[in-house]
Homo-oligomer: A and B are copies of this chain.
Amino acid sequence: SVNPDLASERQTASFSVEKLTALLDGGTEQTRIRRAVVEAIESDPVFSRENQYFQTQNERYEAAVRKAVHLQKKMHEMGWTENGPEYKYIYRALSGDVAFLLHRVFMRSISVLGSDKQIAKWIPLASQHKLIGSYAQTELGHGTYLQGLETTAVFDTATQEFILNTPKISAMKWWPGDMGRSATHTVVFAQLYIHGKCYGIHPFIVQIRSLQDHSLCPGITAGDIGPKMNFEHIDNGYLLLKNVRIPRENMLSKFCEVRPDGTYVRQGSQKINYFTMTTVRISLIADEVLTPLMKACTIALRYSAVRRQSKLKPGEQEAKILDYQTQQEKLLPQLAAAYAFHFTNDYLQELFNRGYREIQRKNFDMLPELHALSSGFKAVITQHCTAGVEICLRACGGHGYSLLSGLPSLYTKIIASCIYEGENTILLLQTARFLIKCFMAASAGQPVPPSVTYLAAVKHGKCPAKNKLDFLSPDIYTEAYQHVAVRLTSSTAAKLQDLIQSGVKKHDAWNQCTVQLVQAAKAHCHYIAVKNFAETVEKLETKAGIQKIMKHLCDLFALHGIFSNTGAFLHDGYVSAAQMDMVTASYLDLLAVIRKDAVPLVDAFDFTDKSLNSALGSYDGQVYQRLYEWAQRSPTNQMSPAYERYLKPLLHNTLSKL
């Protein structure tokens, strides 16, 4: 039975939840396929996450390996293939709680970096799981700056082998997933040396464990790096190499080859490599970032509709916490952001697909823009969504703090996305470098990529809004965002030039501008996200209330951004103080409007109870029963030796004389 406080929220939905779900999925057929995958996975007890919050790191790892192995069987049974339409839903259905994710990266790196011969040899072995692969790039002392990697691969012409070493402790490979306990092979990135000369970083296939008994190979020291804030299911590992010899054929050689005599040959364009990083950054947004935020919103908003605390009106019953303006102000902007970034992701996917087609035609022109956008949005979206999940957690008070709410694990997992695949600050500075370059080009009248043409059109006008309703006009707020992005880019470009002209060395000048460059990059991405959301809303069908509610969310996303960064808009007077008060008024009004549809809006994300795995967020809203039932299952309710050992002697005063 559904909690009546939750049921009532659904009766007054202003739109069709089912239609919105289909919109998010990209069509009703996609929804059908997704649900079929979820159903198949969730009905299989091997994939159960029921006891996840009670398990140790070792238990989590073992379960993830069991699931990964079982998944092979399941896919065969269900007729799912890696190229089929179901494939992309499997990972989401498993909530990522599965091993061998790096095996796929291993395969992809061979496909991208290997010669045809290498692909022909290794890919079938990997596909059939005759080996388990990993990807060993990051070192204990080196992450961001690839050129700084210290692992060496010295070519020995006598034996036609590479001799691999991690010469210092800081050179030890550290973090690679699946490597701590599972992998038999890995792609090691190392500095290539031939006849004493360094040729820079290259990838090498190295076997690290026996295929017979899984013992470590000669010269290999490897293990698990220990406990982390989350990812208990993954055996992130370390790897030391001591004079490990591999055949010449194991250097991945699509782009660079070492001939038998030690001649180094570079061939083809490596530009496609940058495209791989772009791919990864875009592909993680949906599964690793948006899904957790959507889950957190679902949990927090359903809970806020059934949790009653304190009174809004004297004499009445305690109010739903969702009816408090402060609670709305915490949660509804996160909900709006989840929708906004869902559409941003669509935009990036489309851009990416277009870029991919161009690249296949050997046209690499779109690469800089793609790199800048994927870097910037990876940073902005992971940052925004991580903060959003934290807000959801805290908005659920004490119960949010229980692991059983599901929120702590969403948080401890999503925060990693701010660090991996490019640390966010580094990425934003990459975007900023692109912006400054394009701004200079645009100022000089040169052509620039489509996403930054706006930088050329610096307008010095004022925001034309006359009353608070004007701020519900997408043109008004989109232009305000654009104005801020231009201002921050141009003022930072000016500061940079001033510093250089005053004699500061270029790299010092750059460093002295980085705090402001980061702001400019964020403003650029924020502007594009708002613009894209507004354009998406305009194209939506007007039926079934979808466009109307999406318009509200778009307005909220935009106005929340202004309300939270008033200084950026007020700074040069583009928005006046009186106008800012209108923004605030419109923003607060919107909270009350969207609050009415809050539960239907999270229902549309269509998470099952099993996928949420939350005592607070289930569809039926029976929060307290579930917390109690789940707590009773906790290992902390087993007999503890603490009583006999410590408490009894204390209480019976039989401790050795105090």
Contact = CB atoms under 8 A, between A and B. Distances in A.
Contacts of A142: 309
Main SS class of interface, A: helix
A487 to B, nearest CB: 10
A216 to B, nearest CB: 12
Contacts of A54: 226-227
A214 B143 CA distance: 53
B72 A658 contact: yes
Contacts of A416: 401
A518 B326 contact: yes
A22 interface: no
Interface size class of A (residues with CB under 8 A): 35 or more
Interface in A497-536: 505, 507-508, 511-516, 518
Contact of A646 (B69, B141, B511, B635): B69
Interface stretch (A167-175, A200-208, A269-277, A475-483): A167-175
Contact of A145 (B309, B507, B512, B647): B309
A181 interface: yes
Contacts of A418: 394
B567 A635 contact: no
A570 B182 CA distance: 57
A573 B631 CA distance: 55
A477 to B, nearest CB: 16
A408 B419 contact: no
A544 interface: no
B403 A651 contact: no
A412 B412 contact: yes
Interface string A388-407: 00100110011011111000
A631 B418 CA distance: 23
Interface in A589-625: 624-625
A76 interface: yes
A556 to B, nearest CB: 13
Given A58-B640, A655-B73, A227 B402 contact: yes
29 contacts: A56-B56, A58-B636, A65-B642, A73-B656, A129-B653, A130-B651, A131-B651, A132-B651, A138-B398, A141-B308, A141-B624, A143-B397, A169-B624, A180-B637, A225-B631, A226-B636, A227-B402, A227-B634, A228-B403, A229-B401, A312-B511, A326-B514, A326-B518, A394-B415, A394-B424, A400-B419, A512-B588, A567-B580, A571-B577
